[in-house]
Amino acid sequence: MDRQERETQVRRTTMAVVLGVKPRMWPGNFDSPNPTGHLSQADDEGFDMSAFPGISTLVSRAGAATVLTAATVTASMLLPGVAADAQAATPGQAALKVAASKKGSPYQYGAAGPNRFDCSGLTLYSFKKVGKNLPRTAQDQYNRTRHLSAGSRQTGDLVFFHSGSNVYHVGIYAGDNKIWHSPKPGASVRLEKIWSNSVWYGRVN
């Protein structure tokens, strides 16, 4: 296979990866393989790259070893919303997934995982798993975070329950006025509605 033929195949493969479709009868690959790998009988198959101005030139310069990279770049051009969503993920949202994965783990005072937790132990463990270090207690975690109004809260933010100026409990905001938390002795990690108006919000940066 010469260079031009290889680059043509790279373009088609890239578009298949981006758009999530199976190419039609590409030589040497699929339903009717062509052992020689030549494209002489497949010129009219695959994708019309002229429909995507600028992308054909970009992909044609990529070798076979960089197909995945080219596909990622192309995806960001064709599907900017998807790329933006991926880039928008925060440490808090990643920590939220960790906390949710611990559903059913029993409460134990002073425990910070991996199988038992108290409230601040769960938040400490979840953020540590995504590369963020928090202090041990709920009060100290509140002092460490960037404080927010209820209107500015997002999934992954910490929710601090307080009595006066004293913070006594913490969970991770999951949206829909709910938190993942480790509630109390005899209970386990669970998703639960926020039950009090005496809450503060903090974000881990």
Q: Reply yes or no on whether 181 is catalytic.
A: yes
147 is catalytic: no
Q: Which of 38, 119, 147, 162 is catalytic?
A: 119
Q: Give the ranges where the chain is alpha helix by DSSP (H).
A: 3-19, 55-60, 67-78, 80-88, 91-101, 119-128, 138-144
CATH 2.60.40.420 is held by the domain 91-203: no
**Spatial separation of the C-alpha atoms in residues 193 and 191, rounded to whole Å:** 7
* pLDDT given for residue 78 in this prediction: 43
Indicate the DSSP class of residue 182.
Answer: -
Domain ranges in the chain are 3-86, 91-203
| 177, 194 contact by CB (below 8 A) | yes
Q: Pick the catalytic residue from 38, 147, 162, 181.
A: 181
pLDDT lower than 70: segments of the chain: 1-88
pLDDT of residue 105: 98
Six-digit token pair at 149?
């109004």
**CA-to-CA separations, 142 to 3, 55, 111, 126, in angstroms, rounded:** 59, 48, 19, 15
